[in-house]
Each structure stands twice: as C-alpha cells, then as structure tokens.
Chain A
Amino acid sequence: MNWFVQTVTSSVGKKAMMAITGLGFCLFLAAHLAGNLTIYGGRQAFNAYADHLHSLEPLVKVAEFGLLFFAAVHVITGLVLFYQNFAARPSRYAVTSSAGGRSIGSRTMPYTGIFLLGFVLYHLLNFHFVDKTGTTIYDIVSGAFENPATVAVYVCAMIVAAIHVSHGFWSAFQTLGANHPKYMPLIRGVGLVFSLLVGLGFGLLPVYLLAVS
C-alpha cells in the first residue's frame, strides 16, 4: 500500500485527520460567529454583511467546497472510529466507573457529532438552499426564528456543539502531538472559553430574534 494511504488509515493517522478537520471547523465557527453578530446591528447591518460576503463569490465557493471536503472526511472518519472503538471491546463490563478522566464532552463525541451532522443538514435546508428572490437573508432568518420550536432546536444544537467542542478543541492538539507543560493549560482554557462562546454566541441569536419579532 502507498505510504500516504497507509499513514492516513492508521489509528494515529485517522485521529490526525479528525483533529485537522475539527480544528478547521472551529476556525469556520469563529468566522461564522463574527459575521452573525452583525444581526445585533439590525436588518441593514446583517444584509450588508451578507452582500459583502457574496461579493467575494469565488473565495466563498472555494471555502464551501473546502468545508464540504472537511465535513466528508470528519464524518466518515468519525463513523469508522466509532465502529472500530465499539468493536475493540466485544464483551462489555458489567460495572463501569470513571476514574475522573472522562468529561461530558469526551463521553459523547460520536453522539454529539452525529447530532451535529443532522443539525447542519437541517440548517443548510433552512437558510442555504432556499429561494432568496424578492427577499433578504435577514427576513428569511428573522422569519424562521419567529417560531419558538425552531428557536428551541437551534438553542439545543448550539449546546450540543459547545459540548462537542469542549472536548474536541484540546483533544485535537493532543492528537497532533502538541501537549507541552507550558501551553497545555492555556489550550484547555481556550477550548473551554471557545466552546462557551460558540454555545452562547450562536445560541442567543435565535432567542434575540424571537424576542424582537
């Protein structure tokens, strides 16, 4: 087998792919959040941001295909890891107990991940693959969040995303070999702060739009 294929299909290689694509999503989330905060500026500000983004069209397309590729790698590798890890212990323990290493995030990675996949598809159907003629993205978004059920789904999804990232962020550094006594506490702290920002930053937006509708 080709050395490259052999490397990325090894256990450590698969984890490295999860880490690189996962950190890629974290960068995307940061940029997406920064853009979405313009919603607090009102209809004009948000539409202006969206227009500006789409004036960079070729770049946006490249980013979209990049994200799609990353998503394919992250999801497929994640599912393979989930299956392999399940198969690595054919007979389960009658009693399981944690010594304190695991966190809610680490325990639930595959489940929060699969939930996020469903959510991302739902989110894209809501706001990406919609007819935008004769309306603006602000109207589509604020219209959708007049429905409390939609708001509830989004708030839940953002809590799940925060949980996934609370483990994923530091874990990705460890996977790539970046565990250093001086920097690891910082990486862990940044991971927690980032997951809070993702949860609160994205989670409060639909609530705000519902409140002002």
Chain B
Amino acid sequence: MTKSITLTLKVWRQQDPQSRGRLETYEARDISTDMSFLEMLDVVNEQLTLEGREPIAFDHDCREGICGTCGAVVNGRPHGPEKGTTLCQLHMRHFSDGDTIVIEPWRARAFALIKDLAVDRGALDRLIRAGGYISANTGGAPDGNNILVPQETAELAMDAAACIGCGACVAACPNASAMLFVGAKVSHLALLPQGHPEAAARATAMVREMDRLGFGNCGNERECEAECPKEIKITNIARLNREFLKARFFSSVR
C-alpha cells in the first residue's frame, strides 16, 4: 500500500572540484513509498528550484537499472542498502518515516568530483580503451555456432559481462580499487574464444592502466562483491590475477 513518509536528508553539496564541499540538511516531505530514490531526489530538487535554490546535481539515465549512470553512497552503502540494486531501482519503501539519510558521491582519487553527487567515471572508459575489447577483422559474417562455446563457459562470461560500469565497486572498496570492474572485463573476454588471442596483452595493459589511473590495490575485503548491483563475483578478480600472472610470466608480452 502506498504510504507517505518524511525524511531528513544530509546531502553532499560541492560547487566544483576546487571548492570545499559539505553535508547540507534538507527535509524530503510527503515522499510516496512507491517512488524510487531518484524520484525522491527529483521531488527535493523541484522544491529547491521553487525556493530559488540550486538543485542537487546527480547522474542518472535509464532509471531501470541497466545503464550504470546513477549511483550515490547512501548511509555508507553504494546504491543504498538493498542487495543487487542500482540507486534508480532502490525504492523508498525500504525507508521509514523520520529516517535520516546521508547521501554522498563515489569517493576515489580516480573519480574526480564534478559537482555535488556527480563524479567523473571516465577512468572506467580509459580502462576499457586500454584493453576491454577484441579486435575483429570485418568481412563476410561467420556462420552462427562456428565457434563452439560450452554452456557453462558462456554462462560465466555472461555473468561477467553483466557489469554495467557503474563504479560502485570502487566506491565500496576500502582501498578504492577497481579490481572487480577490471576482473569482470578481463574475465568476460578471457573466457570466450574470441578473447583468447589478445588475452595476455589485455590483462597486462588493463592492470597497467588501472595502476596509472590511481586506483588502490585489492585487499580481498569483498565489499565490492557485496555491493555490486549486478552481483559480479570476486572469482572474476581471481581470474584477473591468474590471467595477469600468466601473461607476465608465460607470454612474450613485455
């Protein structure tokens, strides 16, 4: 049944990367429990706009949990407290009347803050550019099922490919490491025959780029796995470690 709740929000407000940010307190009145978290923020922003104040900047796009654009840390939990849920798919029925909610942006050196809750996740794109692809010659389309992939392998690759690049793993990691994201990309391609030719170069280049971008080192804390909205497993990080060590010691890639 639809209810209305009123919440106290403490939202990170920061004008630009240079200025100092701080938590500002707002009241979110008469929020329908059927709303999503982002719709709740829309209501607050409309109110702020009517009052002539600056609305809260936050990223969003599909609002159906598939694009990876949204995301904020809610009471210390990236994408909020629900398991396997993006912020846009988090519903207000998981909160109670009178709750105080602290909303902060992803915090990592590699994710520069743009404004308020919006951060620059271009580092994840640079990681993909470093090796998160396969090179394919164009020409006549090959026949379907020309290259056989066992069902189990296809499933593992699909599980890894479910990553939407939201960056919650980095935000959740006590060390701000991007190993779950890179592990998902390296695994997805290393598992499939099409990814094999470039596997050694890919693992090497992606780890190098990850280090260059200033992400932290994985400590196997497993917070990423617990917070990932697509429930990507840390077995993908183990596969990345394997692929990297194999590439460094047993391939000719320098």
Interface residues of A (CB under 8 A from B): 3, 7, 10-16, 81, 84-85, 87-102, 106-107, 109, 167, 170-171, 174-179, 181
Contact = CB atoms under 8 A, between A and B. Distances in A.
Contacts of A91: 107, 113
A174 B219 CA distance: 10
A105 to B, nearest CB: 10
Of the listed residues B10, B208, B211, B214, the one surrounded by the most CB atoms of chain A closer than 10 A to its CB is B211
B210 A11 contact: yes
Given A101-B226, A179-B234, A89 B245 contact: no
B221 interface: yes
A94 B224 contact: no
B248 A13 contact: yes
A164 B76 CA distance: 25
A177 B223 contact: no
Interface of B: 10, 12, 23, 73, 75-77, 102, 104, 107-110, 113, 172, 174-177, 207-208, 210-211, 214-227, 234-235, 237-245, 248-249, 254
A175 B104 contact: no
B99 to A, nearest CB: 13
A102 B207 contact: no
A106 B241 CA distance: 19
Contacts of A10: 207-208, 211, 244
Given A95-B76, A174-B237, A11 B220 contact: no
Given A12-B244, A13-B248, A167-B220, 14 more contacts: A11-B215, A12-B207, A81-B217, A88-B110, A94-B12, A94-B23, A98-B226, A99-B77, A99-B226, A102-B174, A171-B219, A174-B238, A175-B220, A179-B235
A15 B224 CA distance: 17
A99 B223 contact: yes
Contacts of B222: 101-102, 106
A3 B217 contact: no
Given A91-B107, A101-B224, A177-B239, A96 B76 contact: yes
